[in-house]
Structure formats: C-alpha cells, structure tokens
Structure 1
Amino acid sequence: MTEPPRFFCADAARRRGDPLAGTAPFGLVWVLVEYPGGWPPDGFDGLDLEPGVKALVFAAAQAVKARILLIRRHGRRTLGGPRRWAVLRYGGSGPHRQQWGTWTRDEELAGIVAALAAPGEPGLPPVVLVCAHGLHDTCCAVRGRPAARALSQLRPALVWESTHVGGDRFAANAVVLPDGVYYGGLDATTSVAAVEEHLSGRIHADHLRGYTDLVPAQQVAVAAALQHFGPAGRHAWTVTHTTRLADHWHVRLAGRPPHPAAVEVEVRSRRTPPHQLTCRGPARSSTVVHEATSLRRG
C-alpha cells in the first residue's frame, strides 16, 4: 500500500496562497539565550537548567511580556566556553536598546533579570534571527537552515539561528531585532535580499509579515503603503489612527518625506476555512486574515 505524501505546512500554505502581511506576533522585548546544543521542541521551557534560575528568568520575562528564544550560530555546535545572552528592546521612533551578557553556569543567567529591569544600551548593531527549530516544525529546519546559511555567510556577526518565532507555515522566517520586523516565505536568495535591503533602510512589502508593535490590521496597512509607494525605512510610516467596525478597519498613516503626509487604508478581516497549519499538529484550524481593500491619500 502506497503511503500518502509527507505533509509540509509551508508547501501547503504556498499552494493556498496564505497572505504574509499581518502575521507578525506582537512583541516589544525579547530575551535571547545562546544554546548551541540540541533544542527541545518547546525551546527554553524544555531546557534542563537549574529550576530556581529558570523560574526566575521566566517570571521576569513574563512580567514585561518578553519572548524567550534560544539562539546559536549556524553550523556551530561547540558546547564548551562562554555563551551569550541578550535582552533586546524595541524603542518606538527612538533608539532601540540592547544589553548583552555571557554565561557558563546556569546561575549566571540570572543576569537577564537585571537586564530586563534596565534601559539597555542604544546604538548596537541589529540582530537577525532565522527560525531553524526543526523539532518544533519540520519546515523551520528544511527551509530555515538554507536561509540561515546564506545570511551567515554574508553577515556572520549579526545572524543567529533561533527557536520558534511563530508562523511555521511561513518558513523560512527571519526577524530583525530590535526593529521588530518579521519576514516570511524566504529562501537562501530572498532572505539575503530582504535583510540587506532592511539594513540599508529599505523595507519592501515582498516577504514582509509585519511590525511587532502593530496589530494585524495596522501591519497590513503599512505593507499596503510600502507596496504602493515603494520601500522605506522602519519609521517612514506611523499609524496615527485606527477604527474598527465589525470586520472592517480604517487605518490612517502618516508618512515621512518623500512619502505622502497622510494615507488612508481600508482593511477587511475574514476567517479562513480550517486547514492543517503546522507539520507536527494534524488538527485543522482556521485563522483570521487581514487584507487591504483600498488605499488613498488623506
């Protein structure tokens, strides 16, 4: 008896044409913990760390709604020597902030707690994460690792593989922090193009999932402006007003020169039919999709 073909959630999402825009999870603070060994399916939660320290870090991160991600350099599995940790903080239109430290013993991870309570340092180079969490979802490894390899060859000091960042079906996923910008549907070539353009101050609508300081409808509105008026920097468009009536959203954007001073975007939300959304989870779920229906100058 012939076995059915193996299911890959990213392939299925592409066949369905699942929209990328509006799918970045909300977040303003991230905790990164370098762990070059094998990653458990549930990431930091599954690590065999000293329980008291682990609980302390988790509670401090939860208090400020920070996301904890494990990171490692692509292709490097050396377990000896000091490892790094970081607290990254999105700063709105002002300077983004970071604080880095090292750890060799579990107890040294307690430094993360103090860093979460401190303002952090502005002006440090950005961090590029590529989800390559194969035990969480197969597509994250199959599609994420080639993208991580290509980016690491070009920007070895900036790029890390990471545990689950959300949206398995959009693999390969890359996140630029502390900018809080998600990209998806990448491969080795498009990941380099998207990240290099981002680092040059030109965010493109292609492959953009969204900005993590915005709700989905606002993310879609910004993506529509980038699509219509061309690539722009992270803070070239600002959401100034949002209203909602049932499944209709009205989002007003303020643009920095040379873009229009005001743009009005209409966004409609809809629920999709149930589908299998991850490689590991056979259950079928529906999602809410947001799509721009009109854009005009204000």
Structure 2
Amino acid sequence: MPDFRCSFASVEDAEPSIGTAPTDTEILLVECPGPWGREALTDNRLPDAVRDHLGSLDLKVFLLRRYDGSAGPGTRVFLASATEEGYDVRGTVLDRPDDLLGLDLASLPAYDGPLWLVCTNGKRDRCCAELGRPIAGLLSQEWPEGTWETTHLGGHRFSGTLLALPSGLTLGRLDTATALAACEAVDRGEVPLEFVRGRAGRSPVDQARELHVLGGGDPSDQVTAVPGPPRRQSCGDDKVKGTTRFEVRRS
C-alpha cells in the first residue's frame, strides 16, 4: 500500500487517541539542524562523540531544528523533568555541540517561556512531515523562539502532533486550521480536550484518568487499560501492532 497514510486510517477508524502521550519523565532536547535519518539520534550531523554521548544517557533525547532551517548562534539545549503539574524546564545555549560532553544537566538555569515541539521526522513517518511541517511553520510565526521541529514523539498516526512544554500536554490530529487556536488555549492554561492525547510524563492510565475528569467524569470512577484491536501504526513500516483502549467503571 504505497499510498497508505497512518493518520488518515486512524481517523477513518475513529481510533481513540486518549492516553497515548509520551511517558518519559525526563527529556533532553538538543538543537541539531539539518536532515535526520529514520533513527535520528544516530543519523544526524552532530559530531560522532556527541552522538555516542547522547545515546549513552539514561533519559529520552529529542533533536530540535527550526522550521526555516536557521541555526545558532550556539546550540540550544533544554532539560524537561516531570512534576505534578507538567514539566520543570531548564535550558542554556552552548558555544558548540561538543560542549554537551561536559555539561552538568543539574546546573542548567530555569527556562521561562512556552516550547512547542512539533513532530516532523519524515524519514520516520511521512505523516509527521506532511502534516507536521506546515504546523511548525504556522506556530513559528506566533512563537519564533519557542517553536521547534522535533524527532519521534510517538503516535505517528495522530499527526499532526506536538508536545507542549511546560504543561506536558501532547496534542494530536492538528492541522493548520486548528493548531494555532489549540496552542493559544494551552498557553492560557486551558486544556483543549478535542486535541489532547494526554499529559506527557504520566502513565497511559493516569493520562486517561485526567482527561476523563477534565471532561466532566467523576474523579472516583475507575479507569483501566484494555487491549484494543491490532492495527498498522505507521507509514514507515507495515507491521501490525496491538493498541490500548481505556474503560471507565462508574463509582
């Protein structure tokens, strides 16, 4: 199926996106302009020693680049650590990528401002590039410093998708007609339920439970994960994988 688009198939099947945000509690973001390969962390333009160093870290690493291809001066680095409310975000600008080798992540200063991390790695999945890049271009007009294209967030089939920091809200099924308003709502401290996959840094069940309550559900209801129908989840390969659904038992 050369013309298969995982995001279109997911919409046609009315697949729920709830509880599919990244669960990583610590995320390192590293500016890396230029093309990325399918396995972006090992296939990029960073020096070999830096690639090896990032691959050895016991935390999730995303690469960043600007929509317009610009870079610098310096290399932007952010560290996001999960909290009860979302993420604590810290950041700095390095003179060169090699400075990552001796960087003390615990000493990074606080970063004040929103970050919009739009998944665009077309080598990983064509939906991310086709749907994500126009969204990144749109958001970069409103938040030129805070908007970044990023590598694999997971959930290609929910493209266009992005991770918003510091809230941790992960949005999906965005397009250029909806992305700006949805992000403006997040920036105001709101939760645009129509587009929210979950709050990153939490387990899938906790993500689903929060969205259930925000949608008017009883906080004492029990939310449990159950197997969903297996499906092809990516344009990048034809593997069929299991999915998860969430059931609510009324209290």
Identity of aligned residues (%): 29
Spell out the pairing of 1:225-240 with structure 2 (5 A cutoff).
Answer: 225-228=213-216
Q: 1:179 to 1:50 in 2, by over 3 A?
A: same
Q: What secondary structure sits across from 2:184 in the alignment?
A: helix
4+ residue runs of structure 1 moved beyond 3 angstroms? 48-53, 78-81, 120-123, 291-294
Deviations 1:112-139 (A, max 9, x none): x411x33x43461121101111111000
Residue 161 (structure 2) aligned to one of 158, 170, 173: 173
Give the deviation of 1:93 after TM superposition: 4.2
Structure-2 residue corresponding to 1:7: 4
Q: What secondary structure sits across from 1:273 in the alignment?
A: strand
Q: 1:151 to 1:276 in 2, by over 3 A?
A: same
For the 8 Å contact 1:204–1:227, the answer to whether it is kept is no
Distance in 2 of aligned mates of 1:53 and 1:159? 24
For the 8 Å contact 1:90–1:179, the answer to whether it is kept is no
Structure-2 residue corresponding to 1:255: none
Spell out the pairing of 1:100-179 with structure 2 (5 A cutoff).
Answer: 100-104=92-96, 106-111=97-102, 113-115=103-105, 117-118=106-107, 120-122=108-110, 124-179=112-167
Structure-1 residue corresponding to 2:65: 72
For the 8 Å contact 2:27–2:81, the answer to whether it is kept is yes
TM-score normalised by the chain length of structure 2:
0.90
Deviations 1:216-242 (A, max 9, x none): 12211111122227xxxxxxxxxxxxx
TM-score normalised by the chain length of structure 1:
0.77
Distance in 2 of aligned mates of 1:291 and 1:122? 39
Q: 1:228 to 1:156 in 2, by over 3 A?
A: same
Structure-1 residue corresponding to 2:89: 97
Q: 1:176 to 1:78 in 2, by over 3 A?
A: closer
**Structure 1 spans left out of the alignment, 5+ residues:** 230-261
Q: 1:152 to 1:94 in 2, by over 3 A?
A: closer
For the 8 Å contact 2:86–2:199, the answer to whether it is kept is no
Aligned residues: 251
Aligned residue identity for 1:142: E
Give the deviation of 1:108 after TM superposition: 1.7
Aligned residue identity for 1:282: D
Distance in 2 of aligned mates of 1:134 and 1:266? 38
Structure-2 residue corresponding to 1:282: 238
For the 8 Å contact 2:26–2:81, the answer to whether it is kept is yes
Distance in 2 of aligned mates of 1:208 and 1:187? 14
For the 8 Å contact 1:95–1:123, the answer to whether it is kept is no
Deviations 1:166-219 (A, max 9, x none): 100000011012322211111112211211111101112111111123211221
For the 8 Å contact 2:117–2:147, the answer to whether it is kept is yes
Q: 1:219 to 1:52 in 2, by over 3 A?
A: same
For the 8 Å contact 1:131–1:140, the answer to whether it is kept is yes
Give the deviation of 1:90 after TM superposition: 2.8
Structure-1 residue corresponding to 2:35: 38
Distance in 2 of aligned mates of 1:201 and 1:292? 26
Structure-2 residue corresponding to 1:199: 187
Distance in 1 of aligned mates of 2:86 and 2:31? 27
Give the deviation of 1:80 after TM superposition: 7.2
Residue 269 (structure 1) aligned to one of 221, 225, 229: 225
For the 8 Å contact 2:35–2:44, the answer to whether it is kept is no
Spell out the pairing of 1:210-229 with structure 2 (5 A cutoff).
Answer: 210-228=198-216
Give the deviation of 1:94 after TM superposition: 8.8
